Every structure is written in structure tokens, then in C-alpha cells.
Amino acid sequence: MEQHAAMGVVRELMAEFAQLTKLSDGQTPRRYLWTDAFAVCNFLELYRQTAEEKYKQLALRLVDQVHHVLGRHRADDPRTGWISGLDEPEGERHPIRGGLRIGKPLNERRPDEPFDEQLEWDRDGQYYHYLTKWMHALSQVSRVTGEATYQRWAIELAKTVHTSFTYRPAVGGRKRMVWKMSIDLSYPLVPSMGQHDPLDGLITYLQLQATTPLEAGQPSWPDLQAEITDMAGICQGQNWATADPLGLGGLLADAYKVAQLIAHHQLKQFDLLETLLEAALVGLPAYVSQSDWPQPVDFRLAFRELGLSIGLRAVERVQGLMGESPGLFEEKAQLHSRLVALQQYTPLAEKIEAFWLERSHRKAESWLAHREINMVMLATSLAPDGYLQQL
């Protein structure tokens, strides 16, 4: 789709999102952390593209709502106030020091309640991979606005959740991670480790450490080197390959983040970049071979497919970045060969977008059941730089 037309669709989608989630009309807002992280980046991209102040203000209002809704206890919880336990003034200064709730419809499972795998998907708590998305969104806000407070909040969040989500097994061995924690981070809700959670953490921490403003780099600023070392240890020897489209898109988006850290911040993470591209090349053929393209719309999940299309847009940008910085990458033949191999899959992005741009497909139950996350992910795929590019 031509860029001007794409931005027109992005405007429509994000205006509808703002209305549906009560971002702008003064009513009680409905917030969900994953969706809101991408939405912040979309509003920033609209601001960058149009220079219209309203889009920056929408991004800032969304950040404020997320902190004051998901950083506080639920209305149906006997607890009140900030989930960090801070008093009101201190909580306002550090609104996410206790993390952020997911925003699920049901309250969290109490420690004495039996585990129900199906029900757990609808229960609140904290997800590590959602929290890393919010760290990234805050860092993007900081660079667009020039306000270092958002970067500080992101780093504070990283330190808080790293301590709560990582642990060393009682029988010894290296650290591992919990997939889902309670709202107040006091006990695990799902103790297994998400496949890409350590990778999300490592790359997000590297990004935060590298992009902290130099003028703010004083001793009072939290440092993430210990957390980076921890996460690198957890990542060691892990297999990142997946045939899940959302996971594949995440690998490719992470590859672009790492390439930017190499090109713009002198991080020598060539092996990590190569590992990410190789994992994607293992998973993409498996996904395509089992692809649900022939399936009817009601059997497709838009946000998962759109996660892949966002990642495929990142491939194009990695190629461009390597072309702009030939001296850095000229001796990395394996990187170039993997990018060439990935090119055969990049047309999938337009196919995915075209399918979900069809209005009749956006009237299907499969779209409407996840409407807000679907529309935000479609907007990100059409205008990906707000999310992908370290602005």
C-alpha cells in the first residue's frame, strides 16, 4: 500500500482505538498492556509523520492512563492504591516501580485457588513479555519528547521485574524465569519460562542501557549491567526457533533492534543478530508449510499474523541499515546470506495486510473478538517505524 494511503488507514484505526478504549472522552478507560504499548508507538509515529501535536498528546495521555489504571489495584480488589505499595505522592513519582497489571477481565488467582489452565488466560497478573514491550514504548516516548523521566521509569521497571521474574532453582544450576507473576509480584501464577522471555529481556535491557541520555547518565541513574549479565546467562544455549507467527515476528523485530544497537551504539552483538536471523529461517518454512492461508477468516487470528508482518517489515530495514553502514557489516557474510534467504518471505507482509485491510474480514467474529489488539497491530504493520525504529 502506498505510504499516504497507509497513513490514512492508520489514522482511522488509531482514532477508533482511542474511542473504543475511552482514551479521549473522559469516561473510565479500558487498558490492556500489550495493546497499549504498540498504540503508544503508533501515536508517536503519527506525530512524527504529521507533526500534529494531538498525536503526541494522545501518546502521553495513554502512558498516564496505563500507569494510573494498570499500576494500581483493580476496582474489584479489596486492596487499593499503587500495586507497588508506595504512598500516593511517591507512587506518582514512581508509578511503575511495582510493575504493571496485564489488564485481563478476571482478577488474579489467589495462592490457595486451584490452577485452571483455560481460566488462567482470562485472569490478571503480570506478564514479563508485556512489561518489556512497555519498557520499549517508554523509551520511545523519551526520545520523541526529550523527557528523560520516561527512560528512567523504563529502567526502574526493568530492575523491579527482573528481580521478581528471575530465580535460581533450589537444586542449583543457572537462573530461570517465571512466565506470569501475581499483581503485587509476591508469588508466581505460571512458573514455567516463556520461550522468548529471556531474549526479550536481554535485548530490551541492552537497548535501555545504550539509549539512556548521556546528560542523564549520572550515578543516581539505575544501571542495568547486572541484569544484562543475568539475562545473557539465561539465554545461553536456548533455542529460539518457532513456527508461531507472533514469535517469528518478534525474532525479526528483535533482529532490527540489535542491528540498530550495532550501527548506532557500537555494541558488538553480531553473533546475537546472526542467531536471531537463523532462528527465523528455521521457523518461517515450518510456518509457511502449515500456513492457514486457505482457511476461512473465522479460523485466523489477525494479531498473530500481523505480528509476523511487522517482523517482515523489520527485515527490509535491517537490509537498509546494513547498506548504510557497509564498513560495519562487510565482513559478515553469514548475515548477508541469511538476509538474502529471508527476502523470499517478505512478500507475506503485504498479503497479511491486504487480507485484514478487507473490511468484510474485519467484520468476522475472529477479528471482533480481539478487535482492539487487532486494529493496533494492523496499524503498526502499516506504519512500523514508531515501534521498530529507535527514534
What is the pLDDT at residue 221? Answer: 74
| pTM greater than the 0.85 cutoff | yes
Domain boundaries, the chain: 106-237
What is the pLDDT at residue 379? Answer: 98
pLDDT at residue 8 tops 60: yes
Question: Residue 293: which pLDDT band, with cuts at 50, 70 and 90?
Answer: low
Q: Say how many CA atoms lie within 13 Å of 143 toward its Cβ.
A: 20
* 129-174 confidence digits (pLDDT tens): 999 999 999 999 999 999 999 999 999 999 999 999 999 998 878 8
* 295-324 confidence digits (pLDDT tens): 889 989 999 999 999 999 999 999 999 988
* 109-131 confidence digits (pLDDT tens): 999 999 999 999 999 999 999 99
What is the pLDDT at residue 239? Answer: 96
pLDDT at residue 330 tops 80: no
pLDDT at residue 219 tops 90: no
* 265-274 confidence digits (pLDDT tens): 989 999 999 9
Question: Residue 325: which pLDDT band, with cuts at 50, 70 and 90?
Answer: confident
**What average pLDDT does the segment 230-234 reach?**
97
Higher pLDDT, 124 or 215: 124
* 64-84 confidence digits (pLDDT tens): 999 999 999 999 999 999 999
* CA-based nearest residue to 218, from 162, 148, 139, 268: 148
**What average pLDDT does the segment 355-374 reach?**
96
* 199-211 confidence digits (pLDDT tens): 999 999 999 999 8
What is the pLDDT at residue 296? Answer: 86
